[in-house]
Amino acid sequence: MDKIPLTEYAKTNGIDPSTARRRAIDGKYNTAEKFGRIWVIDPKEPHIDHRVTSGKYKNWRKNTPE
């Protein structure tokens, strides 16, 4: 399994390198490893965006019963 630097992985997936580094530190990537000060990752590792994009929480404060 060949691994690439995390910065290259971030560029290919269209995300900021600092975001990818934070996710690697938090353990969100299964194949990310740190060698010295360089993070490497399997290029086939999927980048899953966990943000809510459905609008489910839009104006949630206005919908709470008082």
Compute the CA torsion angle 11, 38, 34, 21 (nearest 10 deg).
-40
CB 30, CB 1: distance < 8 Å: no
Q: Which two tokens stand for residue 1?
A: 């399994």
- pLDDT tens, residue order, the chain (66 aa): 699 999 999 999 999 999 999 999 999 999 999 999 999 999 999 988 878 888 888 887 886 666
pTM over 0.85: no
Q: Where are the domains of the chain?
A: 4-41
The DSSP H or E segment spanning 24 is helix 17-25
Instruction: Give the Cα separation of 63 and 41 in Å (integer).
Output: 43
